[in-house]
Amino acid sequence: MVVPELRPWRAARPHVVRITDAVRPRLARAAGIVRPSLARVAGAAAPQVARLTRAAGPQLARITKAGPHAGSWRYTAGAATAGLALAAGVVTAAGPWDGTGQRTAERDRAVALDHTGGADHGRKDDSSGTSTAAAGAPRPAPSAASVLTGLGGAAGTVKSAPDALPTTTGLKAVLDRLLADPALGARHTAAVVDVATGKRLYGSGADTALTPASTTKIATAVAALSAMGPDHRLTTRAALEPDTRELVLVGGGDPTLTAREDAQGWASLRTLAAATAKTLKARGVTQVTLSYDTTLFAGAQIHPIGVNPNLAPVTALSADEGRTDDSTSGPVTRVSDPAADATRKFAAFLAADGITSSAPGPSKATTRAETLATVSSPPLSTVIERMLTNSDNDIAEALARQTAVATGVRADFAGGGKAVRARLDKLGLPVTGAVFKDGSGLDRADRLTANLLTALLAKAGDPGLPALRPVLTGLPVAGFTGTLSTRYTDGAAGVVRAKTGTLTGVNTLAGTVVDQDGRLLAFALLTSDTTDPTAAQTALDKAATALAGCGCR
């Protein structure tokens, strides 16, 4: 899910009408530019837009109760943030990705909105007179640094951002006290980096490796995109062995394959079955011996933590992540054998199309097997975004293995970790002390440094590496999407974008934030030995909110 970069607002008491008047012409211009793209992809974007609308609903409800004359800067900022998110979400959720790894619709919208500073609220400097241009009205909000590069081809600098960076002294004055909160446990580390320059501005134990929990997924995402590229697709196929009428369902390691009636843009097992049945019947074949091939991945399927509702057995063939209900994210009971489960569903779809089959069993497609039909995932960029937004462990483990496959390493838990580390090292990232036991961060033996996490985020913002941009665009948006949808409701909603991490005694947060001067900062906060996860999350959120609220000089 992609939401455009939202701008911070200074504390003030402007009337909501001024915001509406300022925003309306820009949104109108954007809509005119992207309308052709929207027409092509509206169907695919509908689920993401619906999710964004549901996520923003509580924000809008709370704002509505406050009333347009609530006399509160929170009302103004909240209304603008929620309104922009919903309006722009229609554009940016859709895609598609162009050849450079950018979302075409988001790029077009960003060009349409290109201007220095935020909405001016109708204010004229030193003016008096009407309420729409009063001298006491807030100054223009600073422009946020561009998440995507290449919006005009320049180096990606921000016109309104000051040349002077936040200082270490300024950041220490703000962060040291907040990070000393007892809720953050006995050990914690932190780092803050300016994305445009890659310069570290603040560090506290930044080179000390701690358990990262789900912030590990940032590393997995960078490695996978580096190894395969944002346009790569994961393909599941049905192949017929010659002379035997053995039909093999060959897993391509697509963790987003679905058997549901509404595929919502993901690869559909029903579509694969229908195409396979059509080809078989055209050949006069109505009965087959059915088997399945999961040999793309190797090693143990069960994560070292054991059977767990946060993760299905890791296999190259599964449908709906082996979930036993209609959920698409979060913990739930999983089937014990996802490949067999997916193949049984495939058999039922074949039967509905007039093809009968034997009870399925494991096999391996030979090189002589003829592919009858295929279905492919959306581009890897979209899969990465889903993984990061929802903190999807199944996708993370599959992508670690896919990285191993792409780089010629054994595709098991150990091989996936080895491949991820190797790709990061190849990118010149500071991997000293890093340990990757899995791709999801569920393994408590994983180790990352705050220095590495901020370097990963800065690398994803590198103008020369647009293929890594989904790492930034996939981050949950505070107060709106994914694992941050219920956090920051009274703080930096829409301004902080970050990946969360939670294990017993471990709470982490790593992402980006736009400060009051318009600088895009990457930050990483890791804690260990926490005793109250809710209090720890709150403390981390306060630190990120403080970054959004300060120029820190």
**Closest residue by Cα to residue 335 from 344, 323, 325:** 323
Q: How far apart are CA 60 and CA 75, in angstroms?
A: 10
Q: What is the tens place of the pLDDT at every residue in 69-99? A: 333 333 333 333 333 333 333 333 333 334 3
Active site residue 336: no
Count the neighbouring beta carbons within 10 Å of the beta carbon of residue 14: 24
Residue 133, pLDDT score: 37
pTM exceeds 0.85, yes or no: no
Domain ranges of the chain: 168-218+430-549, 235-378
- Whether 307 has a pLDDT exceeding 60, the answer reads yes
Residue with tokens 């890659």: 198
Which entry of 143, 146, 214, 528 is annotated as an active-site residue? 214
pLDDT for res 161: 55
pLDDT single digits (tens) 105-120: 334 434 444 433 333 3
Parallel, antiparallel, or unpaired for β 370-376 and 200-204? unpaired
Say whether 72 is catalytic.
no
* Secondary structure of 214-258 as H, E, C letters: HHHHHHHHHHHHHHHCCCCCCEEEEEECCCCCEEEEECCCCCCCE
Percent of the chain with pLDDT over 90: 65
- pLDDT value at 320 more than 70: yes
Of the residues 37, 143, 146, 217, only one is catalytic, namely 217
Neighbour-count burial of 497, counting CB atoms closer than 10 A to its CB (0-12 exposed, 13-18 middle, 19+ buried): buried
> What average pLDDT does range 518-526 have in this prediction?
94
Backbone φ/ψ region at 398: left (φ over 0), alpha (ψ -120 to 50), beta: alpha
pLDDT at site 488: 86
Name which of 483, 462, 472, 551 is nearest 511 in CA terms: 472
What mean pLDDT comes out for the span 244-262?
97
Provide the angle, in degrees to the nearest 10, between the axes of the packed helices 393-406 and 216-228: 40
217 is catalytic: yes
The residues, ordered by sequence, that sit 6+ positions from 206 with a Cβ below 8 Å of its Cβ are 189, 190, 191, 200, 449, 450, 451, 454, 524
- pLDDT, position 493: 84
Q: Which of the residues 391, 440, 485, 528 is marked catalytic?
A: 391
549-to-7, 8, 162, 202 alpha-carbon distances in Å: 11, 8, 16, 16
